[in-house]
Amino acid sequence: MKKKVILDTLILLSLGALSSLSLPPINLFLINFFSFSFFFIFLHNKLNNKLSKKTFFYYGWLFGYGYFLTSLYWITISLTFDKNLQYLIPISLIIIPAFLALFYGLITYFFSLFKIKSLISSFFLFSLLFGLVEFLRGNILTGFPWNLTIYSMSNSVNFLSFISVIGTYSFNLIIIS
């Protein structure tokens, strides 16, 4: 049982970290197709188990922590240039990703509330919840719209021109789906 929990933890942290490779400067967009798909399949398979809502929250938090830990590394690098700011490095390395991962925990928590058995309905619910929580994360507490999934398309000017028609968060929902 303990090995299963450790394996699940490592899988989710790795999927989140892998997903961050889709962001600039690497821009491997196809990684999101696999990481988000495996994350969704992982969650959908866990719906059949009798797991608590806290466990689902933890799953989302782990994915988000892996994602933000590996994609917000530049904050800690920028704090090394001034000796007076070096005390902020642990905060930027651990606390900011942990806080932002709470939003991803909310996605999986609400996803577990519905317990939809249909794969297609579950997929649309997951995408919708992900898009809504990304919108909340970008606007709540003065907003933190960094590292939206849409940023993985930053090299594709043809795709990004579509943002002028439907907006950033709508296109983010499409990209998540």
**Sequence-ordered list of residues with C-beta below 8 angstroms from that of 79, at least 6 positions apart, any chain:** 85, 86, 88, 89, 92
Give the closest residue to 60 by CA, choosing from 9, 99, 105, 15: 105
Alpha-carbon 88 to chain mean position: 24
Alpha-carbon distance values, 71 to 17, 26, 76, 104 (Å): 8, 11, 11, 15
Alpha-carbon 172 to chain mean position: 12
Task: Check residue 125 and give its pLDDT.
Answer: 93
Provide the residue-wise pLDDT of the chain in tens; the chain has 177 residues. Answer: 789 999 999 999 999 999 999 998 888 888 988 999 999 999 999 988 878 899 999 999 999 999 999 999 889 999 999 889 989 999 999 999 999 999 999 999 999 998 888 889 999 999 999 999 999 998 887 777 888 888 888 887 777 777 878 888 888 888 888
